[in-house]
Amino acid sequence: MIEKTVAELSAAMTSGDISSVELTQSYLDRIHKANDSLNAFITVCDDTALEQARVADKSRAQGNQNPLLGIPLAHKDIFCTSGIKTTCGSKMLENFISPYNATVVDKFNQAGVVTLGKTNMDEFAMGSSNETSFFGPVRNPWDLEKVPGGSSGGSAAAVAADLCAMATGTDTGGSIRQPAAFCGVTGFKPSYGRISRWGMIAFASSLDQAGPICKSAEDAALMMNVMAGIDPKDSTSADREVEDYTSTLSDSVKGLRIGIPKQHFAEGLSADVEKSIREALREYEAAGAILKEIDLPNSHLSVPAYYVVAPAEASANLSRFDGVRYGHRCDNPLDLEDMYKRSRSEGFGDEVKRRILIGTYALSAGFYDAYYRKAQKIRRLIKNDFDEAFKEVDVIAGPTSPHTAFSIGAKTDPVTMYLEDIYTIAVNLAGLPGISIPAGFSNDLPIGLHIIGPDFGESKVLNAAHQFQLFTDWHKAKPAAKGGI
């Protein structure tokens, strides 16, 4: 049962085939069996999860028909959860218990979901392999020697290996989509502002966006129905009507105009990935979609611009971790400066420090125009590229990542790591919705198809992804290593 989609589990609970308590216990058992190998969870909430499941079963018996009622979920450990540790993958917050819930957490609680625990992640969401976590790397369920991608690697691995039915993630430059691709699951980053950021520990405020990681586009739509919406506590959340994202899933792709950016099929893309993606596009074509090559001329600027904007914002966002009010404080500080220096030196890992330094540098007097201001200009150029493209196409499709999951410890050079997100980053800079769905394998490792929509084109993206999952089975494939974990 634990391998099923949310939609299937919901039906099974409605028909009485299984209770939420039974289902929750199955997932907990699975976590306790597999987490030692995967390291996908930082915190597991056995007692409260079962209690929530009991409440959900009762509520269902009383007629509650919420499709997510009693579905066991895992939260990325970046979402503040009242009473449950929220570490953000960092020693800085190793023992931090938030006194409040993120809006996303509240919304899932109100929908009656069961929270199984908190998933591992790159420290402060800074990483593309989950290797920067203070709690150790997450392992890819398809091959335990490979990374699961990052930063939402714990959530993607947990969904792939059936440690939960669904999970939350966050995506600043590809942190939902790339791990979804590496782990063979569905991961959706909505438009900037679609989901409240309240209670989501900030990495880069103008880029961060929460989203679902799950087993199908349909499940993503179900989760989006809960997660989306304006929040008075987040001034950047969008004041736009929330659609029922499931209502347009079954629309035909006949006549759907799919843009194929030539820059996403250029040098650096592995042959296997290209082959699978081209294959996937042919499936669309066979279903009546129209493929059209498009130009995103400023694509090559997206990674450099991102690595100015995101670290700049991060350098300020992470200033609050100063050892004064909460979080790690060094022992026996000599004075204030010593306390700042040692608390932060001890509390943050290398990648976080690197990005704080980059960001601090980029904002420094004399460099601001050359870096930050210029990066913001590039951001507008990139957005314009997409705006132009969407005059001619309905969605844009290509590979999520240039290759499949790489080996743990293989990428030691930060710049090589930063290039991991070459196809996903522009989508964050432009604030657009994007999804990664399974579309094939290379050497038994999953390949992700990336579908990008226009501003607040969530429904279009989910519809295109769902249709693909109707005529392919890639999303149903289960990790070969599963038996071993």
175 and 150 Cβ atoms separated by less than 8 Å: yes
In whole angstroms, the minimum distance from the beta carbon of 339 to other proteins comes to 9
Residue 14 in contact with other proteins, rule: CB under 8 A: no
Q: Whose Cβ is closer to other proteins: residue 209's or residue 404's?
A: 209
356 lies in the site for other proteins, by CB under 8 A? no
Residue 263: φ, ψ to 5°: -65, -20
Between 156 and 318, CB nearer to other proteins: 318
Backbone angles phi, psi at 267, to 5 degrees: -50, 140
**Cβ burial, residue 415 (10 Å; 0-12/13-18/19+):** exposed
Nearer to other proteins, 396 or 432 (CB): 432
Distance separating alpha carbons of residues 234 and 197, to the nearest angstrom = 6
d(C-alpha 398, C-alpha 260), whole Å:
6
Rounded to the nearest 10°, the torsion over CA 82, 158, 466, 473 is: -170
Residue 175 annotated as catalytic: yes
Q: Which amino acid is at 141?
A: P
Q: Which residues contact 65 (CB under 8 A, 6 or more apart)?
A: 14
Backbone angles phi, psi at 448, to 5 degrees: -105, 135
Residue among 20, 76, 98, 436 flagged as catalytic:
76
Q: Has 10 been annotated as catalytic?
A: no
Report in angstroms how near the CB of residue 204 gets to other proteins at its nearest.
8
Nearer to other proteins, 175 or 276 (CB): 175
Q: Mark the segment that binds other proteins (CB under 8 A) among 97-105, 245-253, 294-302, 428-436.
A: 97-105
Active site residue 151: yes
Give the ranges where 71-229 is alpha helix by DSSP (H). 103-111, 153-160, 177-183, 217-227
Binding of residue 315 to other proteins (CB under 8 A) = yes
Which residues, other chains included, contact 268 with Cβ-Cβ below 8 Å and sequence gap of 6+?
402, 419, 422
How far apart CA 141 and CA 147 sit, in angstroms, is 9
Please, which residue, 355 or 450, has the CB nearer to other proteins? 355
**Minimal distance, residue 435 CB to other proteins, in Å:** 24
Site for other proteins contains 197 (CB under 8 A): yes
Q: Is 109 near other proteins (CB under 8 A)?
A: no
Cα(133)–Cα(39) distance, integer angstroms: 11
Query: Rounded CA gap, 460 and 464, in Å?
Result: 6
Binding pattern to other proteins, positions 55-94, x when CB under 8 A? ------------------------xx-----x-x----x-
CB of 201 to other proteins, least distance (A): 4
Among 25-33, 291-299, 318-326, 448-456, the segment contacting other proteins (CB under 8 A): 318-326
- Pairwise CA distance, residues 217 & 150, whole Å: 20
Residues 200-259 that bind other proteins (CB under 8 A): 200-202, 204-206, 232-236
Q: Which is nearer to other proteins, 52 or 86 (CB)?
A: 86
Among 18, 230, 316, 330, binds other proteins (CB under 8 A): 316
Phi-psi region of 70 (alpha: psi -120 to 50; beta: other; left: phi over 0): left
The residues annotated with a catalytic role in the active site are 76, 151, 175
The residue ranges that bind other proteins (CB under 8 A) are 79-80, 86, 88, 93, 96, 98-100, 102, 197-202, 204-206, 232-236, 312-313, 315-316, 318-322, 324-326, 336, 340, 360, 363-365, 368, 372
